[in-house]
Amino acid sequence: MYKELILELTQNNEYVKIQSPCTGEEIEKAEKAVGYPFPKELWELLYELDGDKYLLLSAKEIIAQAILNRETQEMYSDEEFAKELDKFIFFATNGCGDYYCYHADSDGVIDENAIYIWEHEMFCWKQVAASMVELITRYYHDEI
């Protein structure tokens, strides 16, 4: 489903490169590194394709981003923006330093009905989509 959607929306984009699917073990490893179970649609996406070298991160890139977030939290522990970094699952990027993500509440429950953008220059996040399909569609239509 996601692969077909991306291929349809990116017919003229030579930079999008659909990657082979993840195994369940690879996804579980990424979940463990992030510290949260992934929402169902992120699981489904990674099980269908391991990133697209453009918008969507691979499982390894999701892990690397989680590690970077923890290091940033430690380095800037007194800064307000750093206090929330471990509450996000960053799984996509706009190429300008901002990340699309899910957010966990104070009890560690992921909101599966909202996808946010983490704006790195403003140190803020705001909702941009209600689902993975909406995010992908809006992104490739230049709406976000």
pLDDT, tens digit, for every residue of 11-23? 989 999 999 999 9
Say which residues have a Cβ less than 8 Å from residue 130's Cβ, sequence separation at least 6: 113, 114, 115
Task: Work out the end-to-end distance of the chain between its first and last CA atoms, rounded to an integer number of angstroms.
Answer: 21
For the chain, percent of residues with pLDDT exceeding 90: 78
What's the pLDDT score for residue 120? 84
117 three-class SS: strand
127 three-class SS: strand
Listing DSSP states for 23-61 in one string gives PHHHHHHHHHHHTSPPPHHHHHHHHH-S--SSSBPPHHH
Domain that holds residue 70: 2-140
Structure tokens at 24: 């369940």
Average pLDDT over residues 56-73: 94
**Residue 56 pLDDT > 80, yes or no?**
yes
What's the pLDDT score for residue 1? 92
What's the pLDDT score for residue 26? 97
**Residue 134 pLDDT > 80, yes or no?**
yes
pTM of this prediction? 0.92
Number of separate domains in the chain: 1
Using pLDDT thresholds of 50, 70 and 90, give the confidence band for residue 121: confident
Cβ proximity of 97 and 120 under 8 Å = yes
Average pLDDT over residues 126-144: 96
**Range in 5-14, 33-42, 80-89 the model is least confident about:** 80-89
What CATH number did the domain enclosing 64 receive? 3.40.1580.10
